């Protein structure tokens, strides 16, 4: 199932909903992994954490 027409055709069953949600879930994670740089985010987190750490 990969198009708007496919999704809207026929009756939506529990099984079909599970399949659709699972497929969209995987696709969205793939997209996020491809476009959100976790290493850069980690560097930003460490930088922010260092800056916000209370002085001894």
Site residues (vs another protein, CB under 8 A): 1-4, 7-8, 10-14, 17, 20-21, 23-25, 27-29, 31-33, 35-36, 38, 41-42, 44-46, 48-49, 52-53
Minimum distance between the CB of residue 55 and another protein, rounded to whole angstroms?
13
Minimum distance between the CB of residue 28 and another protein, rounded to whole angstroms?
5
Minimum distance between the CB of residue 29 and another protein, rounded to whole angstroms?
5
Express the helix, strand and coil content of the chain in percent, nearest 5 each: 75, 0, 25
């Amino acid at each position: 199932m990969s198009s708007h027409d496919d999704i809207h055709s026929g009756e939506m069953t529990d099984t079909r909903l599970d399949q659709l949600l699972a497929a969209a879930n995987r696709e969205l994670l793939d997209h996020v992994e491809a476009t959100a740089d976790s290493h850069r985010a980690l560097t930003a987190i460490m930088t922010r954490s260092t800056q916000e750490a209370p002085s001894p």
